[in-house]
Amino acid sequence: MSQPKTQLDLDLLSINTIRTLAIDAVQQANSGHPGAPMGLAPVVYELWQKYLRYDPADPTWPNRDRFVLSAGHASMLLYATLHLAGVRAVNSHGKPTNEPAVSMDEIKRFRQIDSKTPGHPESHLTAGVETTSGPLGQGAGNSVGMAIASKWLAENFNRPGFDIFDFNVYAMCGDGDFMEGVCCEAASLAGHLKLSNLCWIYDHNHVTLDGPAEWSFSEDVMTRFVGYGWNVTRVADANDLMMLGRAYDVFLKTKDRPTLIVVDSHIGYGSPHKQDSYEAHGEPLGEAEVKLAKQNYGWPEDAKFLVPDGVYDQFKNGVGKRGADAHSSWNAKYADYAKQFPQLADQLNRMQSGQLPDGWDKDLPSFPADAKGMATRESSGKTLNALAKNIPWLVGGSADLAKSNKTNLTFDGAEDFYPHEYHGRNVHFGVREHAMGAIVNGMTLSKLRAFSATFFNFSDYMRPAMRLGALMEIPAIYIFTHDSIGLGEDGPTHQPIEQLASLRAMPNMMVLRPGDANEVVEAYKIAMQHTHGPCTMVFTRQAMPTFDRTKYAPASGVAKGAYVLADAAGGKPDVILMASGSEVTHCVDAYEKLKAEGIKARVVSMPCWEIFEKQDAAYKESVLPSIVTARVSIEMASTFGWERYTGPKGKIIGMHSFGASAPLKDLLKKFGFGADSVVAAAKSVLGK
Ligand SMILES: Cc1ncc(C[n+]2csc(CCOP(=O)(O)OP(=O)(O)O)c2C)c(N)n1
Ligand SMILES: [Mg+2]
């Protein structure tokens, strides 16, 4: 191949290196999408080389610009870029190393077992991957959370002369992203909030997997985004670096709203043979087509995984040098800042390493015994407020149900997060549950302790984002109230049934459904200290008793996931009664009734199955002795999964249908809940 002479030659050589690495990796894996990386290579190259403030030597630099590949199927585009830019790996303590984040070996092992180059980008596996994308629209949603975090951090931590935070967030999206609801919700909120640090790039390539995009997508995206309050600009040819640069400049100059750059590209550009072909762009090209594409790029057609001379240096002298300079002047500034504002620096350091401030759990409420008690949404609100007062970076809000969810932070100085008023702690997500989930994930990835809130039934609207939170192993907090048919009159459209079971089935999701106000406090303590996965917090609308902990076991038992709340004399029960949440009280009442009749029962409160499953065998046996096979569980939810604890001889009281619209007392009767049901089931399993 001919030697590059000019800067333009070097640009094109680098772009074609990204393309051919993607082509070769997809071909070798015999799986993956080469089309989008081929089309988008110049767009990403121009951004990284000339605009992204990113130090490849430290992908954890808190003020780095974020690059999110929402079109995660184009993962090789990201891997090739991370490789060529020389982005470093990060060790288990979160510190950068001298190893590459994506070595050439890893590129050759694209989509293979235990590689750093899985089919879609996964942020917990590969340094430099800002978020896990793949389910279309999620990355775009995350990017809004990151942009919110950047604004919030700037407002709360910058001081005159010390712009510690001003990072921008770029997200690369395709037709698929723009068709997804979550993306539309997120764009709507980003426009409303006037997030000027957010730039989405739309790969307008007229094609999706099934064929021409026009088969299913013909709206005017640009007009839509103008309607959302975005600044919209267009680049007519994805290969035109100068016009791409102008578009990025427009973004940087736009200070009052987010920017959408629509880039017209042709999938597989560079390979004239496939240029107008819609078939199979989501598949390996095949050996013959690979050769033709390479010919067209002026590439040696038999060379594989070729990085021509000068390409690594090109990145080193571009993004590498710019990033290193920006990072080192930031470091110098930060050192000064830490001297002048040691408290703020301490907070930032803790935030970055996932620690909490000293005294984070001081002044947490403690609730006196009370037969009437209170709803756990109520005790949740009080606990959340106490925690947020102690943890300055606990930030979040609700999807238009804050008053019902009791998640408003009401202490002095909590304030609201509004357009151009970005210091407040209360984010108003509006009625956008799905985007809320993705946004809270993006905020969490930016090191805030972020929470969302809505009714438990609408966890279904958030579930794809929650699932990614679990996959990414990030400590997002998803708060839900109105957790069962116990919510009453709103009826079956609002009454969750299978949500508990389905979220318990999700790997790495911790589901906490505390049984009284003091269990709520304990549950939050667990959530705040949980660093490698999200927590789903499940609370009631209806009041329930606060147990007398001098009579029953302390609520600290929540830390083990399940614990003996009330026991038979001598710790030798004949029957075990189990429940979580508002049904624990049904068990306690049944226990007292059985006791009065001389029947020896034990009550096990089970607020968190996942934590209980992690206890050693001895503890589990001490709570649920295998010799006691007479067992009853009760939950106003799907019975699915309880067999594990009740065993073949036990009885499970639960919901087998949707609920109904009625006052709670009538629902309890209709669906067979309450202490009497537990008593009857206990007698039945005891053969009485
Ligand atoms: C939520 C979701 N649905 C479906 C898919 C499968 N999928 C991957 S790429 C793609 C087509 C996307 O089209 P576009 O975004 O235009 O990308 P292009 O084919 O142009 O690269 C689909 C349907 C997915 N990844 N996520
Ligand atoms: Mg497309």
**pLDDT per position as a tens digit, 624-671:** 999 999 999 999 999 999 999 999 999 999 999 999 999 999 999 999
Among the bound ligands, name the one nearest to the CA of residue 210: 1
Among protein residues, the one whose CA lies closest to atom 21 of ligand 1: 36
pLDDT on residue 273: 46
Which region among 108-117, 145-154, 209-218, 261-270 has the lowest average model confidence (pLDDT)? Answer: 261-270
Which residues form ligand 1's pocket by a CB distance below 6 Å? 35-36, 71, 73, 134-136, 174-177, 205, 207-209, 267, 282
Segment 42-70 mean pLDDT: 98
Q: Which atom of ligand 1 is nearest to the CA of 208?
A: 13
Q: Is 250 exposed, middle or buried (0-12, 13-18, 19+ CB in 10 A)?
A: middle
Structure tokens at 545: 């008793």
Residue 382 — pLDDT band, cuts 50, 70, 90?
A: very high
- Tell me how far the alpha carbon of residue 138 lies from the centroid of ligand 1, in angstroms: 12
Among the bound ligands, name the one nearest to the CA of residue 36: 1
Structure tokens at 376: 């756990």
Among protein residues, the one whose CA lies closest to atom 25 of ligand 1: 135
Residue 283 — pLDDT band, cuts 50, 70, 90?
A: confident
Residue 556 — pLDDT band, cuts 50, 70, 90?
A: very high
Of 190, 225, 200, 137, nearest in space to 462 by CA? 137
Using the CB atoms, write b or e for 64-77: b if 16+ within 10 Å: bbbbbbbbbbbbbb
- Give the containing element (helix H, strand E) for 394: strand 394-398
- Give the SS3 label for residue 621: helix
- Mind listing the pLDDT tens digit for each residue in 497-554? 999 999 999 999 999 999 999 999 999 999 999 999 999 999 999 999 999 999 999 9
| Side-chain half-sphere CA neighbours of 70 within 13 A | 31
Residue 269 — pLDDT band, cuts 50, 70, 90?
A: very low
Q: Which atom of ligand 1 is nearest to the CA of 135?
A: 26
User: Which residues are annotated as catalytic?
Assistant: 433
- Is 0.85 topped by the overall pTM? yes
Among protein residues, the one whose CA lies closest to atom 18 of ligand 1: 208
- Give, in order, the Cα–Cα distances in Å from 338 to each of 155, 335, 353, 579: 17, 5, 16, 49
- Tell me how far the alpha carbon of residue 352 lies from the centroid of ligand 2, in angstroms: 36
Residue 8 — pLDDT band, cuts 50, 70, 90?
A: confident
Residue 3 — pLDDT band, cuts 50, 70, 90?
A: confident
Pairing of strands 370-375, 543-546: antiparallel
pLDDT on residue 1: 72
- Tell me how far the alpha carbon of residue 593 lies from the centroid of ligand 2, in angstroms: 65
- Give, in order, the Cα–Cα distances in Å from 185 to each of 199, 437, 646, 673: 16, 11, 42, 39
Among the bound ligands, name the one nearest to the CA of residue 204: 2
Of 473, 429, 435, 480, nearest in space to 458 by CA? 480
* Cα–Cα distance, 624 to 560 (Å, whole number): 13
* Cα–Cα distance, 23 to 287 (Å, whole number): 10
Q: Which atom of ligand 1 is nearest to the CA of 33?
A: 21
Among the bound ligands, name the one nearest to the CA of residue 467: 1
Of 476, 434, 471, nearest in space to 451 by CA? 476
pLDDT at 346 > cutoff 60: yes
pLDDT at 102 > cutoff 90: yes
Which residues have CB less than 5 Å away from ligand 2 (the ion)?
Answer: 174-175, 205, 207
- Give, in order, the Cα–Cα distances in Å from 318 to each of 47, 325, 537: 11, 11, 46
Q: Which atom of ligand 1 is nearest to the CA of 180?
A: 1
What percent of the chain has pLDDT above 70? 98
pLDDT on residue 272: 45
Out of 172, 206, 209, 463, mutate this one to test ligand 1's pocket (max ligand atoms within 8 Å of CB): namely: 209
Structure tokens at 138: 């999620």
pLDDT on residue 262: 98
Cβ distance 540 to 376 under 8 Å? yes
Residue 275 — pLDDT band, cuts 50, 70, 90?
A: very low
Residue 424 — pLDDT band, cuts 50, 70, 90?
A: very high
The crossing angle, in degrees rounded to 10, of helices 7-29 and 35-50 is 140
- Tell me how far the alpha carbon of residue 265 lies from the centroid of ligand 2, in angstroms: 9
- Tell me how far the alpha carbon of residue 175 lies from the centroid of ligand 2, in angstroms: 5
Cβ distance 599 to 574 under 8 Å? yes
Cβ distance 149 to 195 under 8 Å? no
Segment 226-238 mean pLDDT: 98
Radius of gyration (Cα) for the chain, nearest Å? 28
* Cα–Cα distance, 670 to 664 (Å, whole number): 10
Average pLDDT in the chain: 96
- Tell me how far the alpha carbon of residue 378 lies from the centroid of ligand 1, in angstroms: 42
- Mind listing the pLDDT tens digit for each residue in 448-492? 999 999 999 999 999 999 999 999 999 999 999 999 999 999 999
Segment 399-423 mean pLDDT: 97
Segment 210-237 mean pLDDT: 96
- Tell me how far the alpha carbon of residue 36 lies from the centroid of ligand 1, in angstroms: 10
Q: Where are the beta strands (DSSP E) in 25-138?
A: 66-69, 88-90, 96-100
Residue 280 — pLDDT band, cuts 50, 70, 90?
A: low
Out of 38, 132, 208, 277, mutate this one to test ligand 1's pocket (max ligand atoms within 8 Å of CB): namely: 208
Q: Which atom of ligand 1 is nearest to the CA of 207?
A: 20
pLDDT on residue 267: 64
- Mind listing the pLDDT tens digit for each residue in 315-328? 999 999 999 999 99
pLDDT at 408 > cutoff 50: yes
Among protein residues, the one whose CA lies closest to atom 19 of ligand 1: 208
